[in-house]
Amino acid sequence: MGTVLGCIADDFTGATDLAGLLARSGQRVSLRIGVPSGPPADTAPFEVIALKSRTAPVDRAVADCRAALNWLRRAGAGRFYWKYCSTFDSTATGNIGPVAEALMADLGASQTIYCPAFPENGRSVFMGNLFVGRQPLAESPMKDHPLTPMRDSNLMRLLAPQVTRPVGLVDRLTVARGTEAVAAELARLDREGVAHVVVDGVADADLEIIAAACRDMALMTGGSALAMPLPVLYRAAGLVGEEAVAHERPDIGPGAIVLSGSCSAMTREQVRTYATQAPSFRLDPRDLADNGPGEALDWLAALPLDAVPMIYATAEPDDVRAAQDELGAVVAGEVVEQALAEIAVAARDRGVRRFVVAGGETSGAVASALGVTRLDIGSEIAPGVPWTFSESGGVQVALALKSGNFGAESFFADAVAKLEGA
C-alpha cells in the first residue's frame, strides 16, 4: 500500500511530535525535512513533511505548504493533516488560518476542523477556549512568547481574523454524545456555510470520537494528538495493512550535546535542572551579534567527548525583551539559531553523534545545518518527543527535537539515558 495520510507540520519539533504519536501504532512513519526535491520514492503509509513556516511571512508559509501538499498528493495520499502547535501559536494574520484555507482550496474541501487539544500534555479545548494545564492560554506563560505572544484564549476569536469564511464550534456537550453527533453537527454547519470549525476536546476519549467523525475529511487540522487515533481507524477500514513495521535503530556512536534556544517556561526549568549536572555555556544574542559563537566553540573544543555539555540561549522573558529591543526580534532570533547551528556542525565534526535540541526554530536551524533531509522515528522520550535517526556528513546521528513546553524538568538527562537504554 502507498501513502494513506500526508501530514504537513509548521515546525520541526511539531513534525517529530506528530510522527512519534503516529508511530505508536507500529505503522511505518517517514519524516521529511522540507519538501523533497525529487519525486516521491520509498514512501511510507504515513508521511510527514516538516516545514519552518510557523513564523514565516504568510505568503511564504502558504506557498511552502501548498508545495508540500502537491508532493504528498503525488505520493498517493488521499487524506491530509495540517499540524500546528497545541498552543495554537500564531499571529492575528496567520499562519494557521491562511494555510488551512489554501489547502482546502487546493483539495476542493468545503470544511475543516481545528482541534489543538493534547490532554496527555495538558492541552484542552472547552467551549472553544484553549487551556494549558488549568490556565487559560492567555494567562499561561504563552502570553509572553517572544514571537507569538498569545493574548486571547478563544480559538474562534483567534481564527476569525485569519480566514475569509465563517468560523463555528462543535462543543464538548456534542462531543460527549459520540461520533454520530459530531458528524451530524459538522454536516449541519457545512450546510450553513461554516467552513472552519473549532472542536472541543478535554480527554483522549474525546479525540478518538472526533477522529472517527472526521476520518474521511480531505483535510483535518490540529495538534499532534488528534492524529494519533487515525492509524487504527485506517487499519479498520482496510486502508493500511495489519502488520506493524518496527524500525531498526542504527548503531549510533558516542558523544552527546544539548542545544537549547527555546525560552518557554518548561525549557527554562529544564535548563536550570541540567546546568546542575553538566558543563553549561550560555549564549547572549547581543554578544553573538558582535562577536559570533567563537567563544562557545572554543569552550566546546576544550571539553572531553564524553562530557555531554549544554549550550543554550534560553533566558527569562525580561532578558529576551531586552535583547529584542536592542537587536530587533528577528535579528535576535536569527543570531541564536545561526550560532547553535554552527555549534551543532562543529560538535558533529569532533565526534558527537547524539543531539538533544529544544525549540522549534532552533531544531529547524540545527537539522538544516546538519544536512538532515529524512528522519526515521524511534522510541519516545516523553509524550510527543521521540528519538529520531538520520545521516549527517556521512555518519549516523540521533536527534531529539523538543518543542519548548514538552517534557519534564529532567528531560535533557532523560533523553540521553533513554537512547542508551533503547
Amino acid code (one letter) for 254: P
Q: Residue 413: pLDDT above 70?
A: yes
Report yes or no: 88 and 156 within 8 Å, Cβ to Cβ: no
Mean pLDDT value of segment 152-174: 97
The stretch 333-354 carries a mean pLDDT of 96
pTM above 0.85, yes or no: no
pLDDT of residue 244: 57
Task: Taking residues 365-381, report their average pLDDT.
Answer: 90
User: Is residue 422's pLDDT more than 70?
Assistant: no
Give the number of other Cβ atoms within 10 Å of residue 248's Cβ: 9
Taking Cα atoms as reference points, which of 121, 4, 26, 8 lies closest to residue 62? 8
HSE (side-chain half, CA atoms, 13 Å) at 197: 30
- Please, what are the domains in the chain? 5-236 (3.40.50.10840), 256-421 (3.40.980.20)
Q: Is the pLDDT of residue 256 over 90?
A: yes
| Average pLDDT taken over every residue of the chain | 93
- Mean of the pLDDT values across residues 244-250? 62
Query: Could you give the C-alpha distances from 298 to 39, 278, 303, 321, in angstroms and in order?
Result: 42, 17, 9, 28
Nearest partner of 310 among 346, 259, 269, judged by Cα = 259
pLDDT at 63: 98
Beta-bridge partner residues of 136: 131
pLDDT tops 80 at residue 249: no
Which residues pair with residue 131 across a beta bridge?
124, 136
For position 246, what pLDDT does the model report?
52
Ordered alpha helix ranges (H), 192-264: 204-214, 230-236
| Residue 390 backbone phi and psi in degrees, to 5 | -155, -175
- The single-letter DSSP state of residue 94 is B
C-alpha cell at 360: 522549534
Report yes or no: 410 and 273 within 8 Å, Cβ to Cβ.
Answer: yes
pLDDT in tens, 94-112: 899 999 999 999 999 999 9
Residue 389's DSSP bridge partners are: 376, 398
Q: How confident is the model at residue 383 (pLDDT cuts 50, 70, 90)?
A: confident
Task: Assess whether the previous peptide bond of 70 is cis (omega < 30° from 0).
Answer: no
Report, as an integer, the average pLDDT of 213-235. Answer: 96
